[in-house]
Amino acid sequence: MRAQSSAITSSRIAVGVTSGDTGGGSLGTVQAALGVVAFSLTFPATAWGLEGFGPWSLIAVRSILAAAVAGACLLVLRVAPPERRHWLGLAVVGAGVVLGFPLLTTLALQTSTTAHAAVVVGLLPLTTALFSALRVGTRPSRTFWVAALAGAAAVIAFTVQQSGGALTSADAYLFAALLVCAAGYTEGGRLARVMPGWQVIGWALVLCLPLAAPMAAVALSYEPVHLTAHSVTGLLWVAIGSQFLGLVVWYRGMAAIGIPKASQLQLAQPLLTLVWSVLLLGEHLPVAAPLTAAAVLVCIAVTQRARG
């Protein structure tokens, strides 16, 4: 979508992102939910990838693969480069979503279980809503905030309890990842109002390629690589599923229903991650999981009905 003027662009962004009242609301919810499902597989896939790659190699190679797919799509479809005023926002998306969050969480997963790492995902919706309020002037209702805080509290209590309540050295990485990802999500959601969501992440990936390529060259020369079915599958998923396709539908969903409401769908992500952890990694699922899932789903229902 192209605006006729900068004034119209600002107006459309403010209205669309704040209220989320668009004709494609139902489709936007489905798209955002598909993004959450894709993201929920990221930690288990990263754990698989770490079986054969070092953390720096995994991040660099996944970024290169995702950038190759995105770049090919941009070339084949002959997409014109974004306007100059959008490049700073794309840099924020690249720094937060393409490089920052994957790198910090991958470093954390070297010493943390996927269940413990899921605490950062539990806090992400609330943090994204806060960034949205600061960046684009979103003002969600009191009901929205109460439900969001309750859902976040339920997820945090569950993930901390099941990990024994101990804070690890990985927590610094996780909280830093939380901040940079929320910034990237917010900026990406704003940009998705003026260009297709897949182009937002596509150009952000291409923008990060000059950093990812030398990083891969250095990392692969120092970190050993052991190619296995798990490591290759994990790499391909985080590169194409999480890094590109998941973000495409996620940004489209945010553009359709608004950043705050889309971000609250992520309250279900830690619980989905735990399910995948049981199925794919053989981790034990605590009995409290169904109760937490029910509480989270109630909170999601409330936030989706609350007017921002």
Q: Encoding tokens for residue 206?
A: 């291409």
Q: Encoding tokens for residue 122?
A: 């539990």
Q: Which domain holds residue 126?
A: 24-305
How far, in Å, are 117, 138, 292 from residue 186 at the CA level? 21, 11, 27
How far, in Å, are 39, 148, 282, 299, 303 from residue 93 at the CA level? 16, 24, 33, 28, 25
Helix (H) or strand (E) holding 246: none
- Residue 233 located in a structural domain: yes
- Residue 247 located in a structural domain: yes
The CA-CA-CA angle for residues 129, 133, 137, to 5°, reads 145
- Residue 62 located in a structural domain: yes
Within 8 A by CB and 6+ apart from 89, the residues are: 187, 188, 190, 191
pLDDT digit of tens for each residue in the chain (308 aa)? 433 333 333 333 233 344 444 445 788 889 999 999 999 999 999 999 999 999 999 999 999 999 999 999 999 999 999 999 999 999 999 999 999 999 999 999 988 888 778 777 777 877 887 788 777 776 778 888 888 888 888 888 877 776 677 667 778 898 899 899 999 988 988 898 888 888 999 999 999 999 999 999 999 999 999 999 999 999 999 999 988 888 888 888 888 888 777 777 877 888 888 889 889 988 776 677 778 878 887 887 787 677 55
The amino acid occupying position 77 is L
User: Quick check: 39 and 124 in contact, CB under 8 A?
Assistant: no
**Locus of tokens 């020369």:** 221
- Residue 6 located in a structural domain: no
- Residue 41 located in a structural domain: yes
User: Quick check: 144 and 260 in contact, CB under 8 A?
Assistant: yes
**Locus of tokens 């840099």:** 91
The amino acid occupying position 69 is V
- Residue 105 located in a structural domain: yes
How far, in Å, are 80, 123, 255, 280 from residue 162 at the CA level? 48, 16, 35, 18
Neighbours of 21 (CB within 10 A): 13
Alpha-carbon gap, residue 98 to 87, rounded angstroms: 15
Taking the alpha carbons of 31, 34, 35, 36 in that order, is the dihedral positive or negative? positive
- Residue 52 located in a structural domain: yes
Look at residue 257 in the predicted model and tell me its pLDDT: 85
Look at residue 247 in the predicted model and tell me its pLDDT: 83
Look at residue 40 in the predicted model and tell me its pLDDT: 92
- Residue 9 located in a structural domain: no
**Domain count across the chain:** 1
What's the whole-model pTM score?
0.79
Please state at what angle helix 42-49 crosses helix 229-236, rounded to 10 degrees: 140
Q: Encoding tokens for residue 232?
A: 């290759």
- Considering only the C-alpha atoms of the chain, give the largest distance between any 2 of them, rounded to a whole number of Å: 55
Q: Encoding tokens for residue 51?
A: 């079986």
